[in-house]
Amino acid sequence: MTEPPTGRPDLDELRRRAMANAPQREAGMVVCENLVRIYQTEGVEVQALQGLDLSVAQGEMIAVVGASGSGKSTLLGILSGQDVPTAGAAEVAGHDLLAMKRRERLGYRRATVGFVRQQTSRNLLPYLSAAENVMLPMTYTGIKRSRRRARAEELLDLLSVGHCRDRTPDTLSGGEQQRVAIAVANANEPRVLFADEPTGELDTATSDEVFAALRRANENLGVTVVVVTHDALVSEQVQRTVRIRNGRTSTEVLRRVATGEDGVEVLTAEEYAVLDAGGRLQLPGEFTERLHLRKRVRLVLESDHVGVWPDEAARRARSDAQDAESGDGSER
């Protein structure tokens, strides 16, 4: 492209250069980079997400955990198309969630993603049978009537609730309702299934049945599954658990099956701190408290790791505290 007579590049040229120099976005079914969500409540600004990074591969099944107020529900609302981020980047199955218009967002929720809520009563229409509930989403995407019933029965059988096909929700147990809800969420063959505390109202045995249904949907239907939960037992049933703290991903636990020296397979779990695209990571609170890490720290680059050290003032405070504890012990 030729430049204008002034010798300065025009706007299109500047955009081209910016795109050429921009870092390549990580590939994945779900990709968030520096995601921000700010709410205004009675004149008070609340930052629910503060630059969150997340990547979920196609066909993966992960759990997202975090304390109340950490931002996990906000993240789920954005990814499912029910909320709009303030800034950053968020893509699901190639859909740019910041650029989508209202009509596009409606189509996205109907065909690209499925959603299962915690409250069983919010997932199903009470006056329809289980099969009719599963068939209902198909009417919005043009699936032929002759195919709807067959598709509904296939899904209900897959999730072990085929015996519920002609029963209304009030005659189903909580676990049966959630498994029917998973069938509803998969009616239009979504690329990603989001589940918000799907076992929050269930006992342990029933929770296992619901999670087994999610796993079958993941394995048999190929749908990518993202589960938001506070249940430690549920989060341990996936290969990767992502923890959110203060509006950012802070740690990930990776679980693998390893074979020991005796030939016996054992499940191993390793926890990692998450290093985001800006080079930021969150140190666990117990680490910072024990070492009196405050405001400033010193970084030391070693041959195979980075050392994090308290500054001189914090080091002296820690030493004084240890001396005081030692003195108390000697007096006793």
SS (H, E, C) 215-232: HHHHHHHCCEEEEECCCH
How many folded domains does the chain comprise? Answer: 2
Any domain includes 46: no
Q: Which of 322, 258, 317 is nearest to 292 (CA)?
A: 317
Q: Domain boundary at 199, 222, 252, which? A: 252
Strand, coil or helix: 245: strand
The answer to whether residues 131 and 200 belong to one domain is: yes
What pLDDT was estimated at residue 303?
A: 87
Range of the domain at 111: 57-85+96-252
Tally of residues, the chain: 332
Q: Which of 277, 306, 305, 283 is nearest to 295 (CA)?
A: 283
Task: Verify that 305 and 240 share a domain, yes or no.
Answer: no
User: CB within 8 A of 254, min separation 6: which ones?
Assistant: 239, 240, 269, 270, 272
> Which residue type occupies 110?
R
pTM over 0.75: yes
Q: Is residue 176 part of a domain?
A: yes
Residues 225 and 330 in one domain: no
Of 194, 227, 252, the residue that ends a domain is 252
Residues 6+ positions from 72 with CB-CB distance below 8 Å:
64, 65, 66, 228, 244
Task: Map tokens 């189509």 to a residue.
Answer: 107
- Under a CB-based contact definition with an 8 Å cutoff, are residues 178 and 130 in contact? no
In a domain, 272, yes or no: no
Same domain, 71 and 191: yes
Residue 70 and residue 213 share a domain:
yes
3-state class (DSSP) for residue 142: coil
The reply to whether 285 falls in a domain is no
Q: Which residue stretches of the chain have pLDDT < 50?
A: 1, 18-19, 22-23, 331-332
Same domain, 194 and 303: no
CB 209 within 8 A of CB 222: no
User: What are the φ/ψ torsions at residue 178 (nearest 5 degrees)?
Assistant: -70, -35
| Residues 227 and 154 occupy one common structural domain | yes
Domain boundary among 232, 252, 272: 252
Residue 331, pLDDT score: 47
Return the CATH number at 236.
3.40.50.300
Task: Say if 29 falls within a structural domain.
Answer: no
Tell me, yes or no, whether 183 and 301 share the same domain: no
Claim to verify: residue 149 and residue 246 sit in the same structural domain: yes
Can you tell me the distance from the alpha carbon of 83 to that of 100, in angstroms, rounded to the nearest whole number? 11
- 104 and 247 share one domain: yes
Task: Report how far apart, in Å, the C-alpha atoms of 262 and of each of 253, 255, 270, 317 are.
Answer: 25, 20, 21, 48
Number of CB atoms found within 10 A of residue 167's CB: 15
In a domain, 286, yes or no: no
Question: CA 142: distance to chain centroid?
Answer: 30
Question: 181 and 119 in contact (C-beta within 8 Å)?
Answer: no
Q: Considering the domain boundaries, does residue 2 fall inside one? A: no
Kindly state whether residue 277 falls inside one of the protein's structural domains. no
The residues pairing with 194 across neighbouring beta strands, listed in sequence order, are 115, 226
Residues 130 and 194 in one domain: yes
Q: Which residue has the tokens 């394995």?
A: 219
The reply to whether 184 and 313 lie within a common domain is no
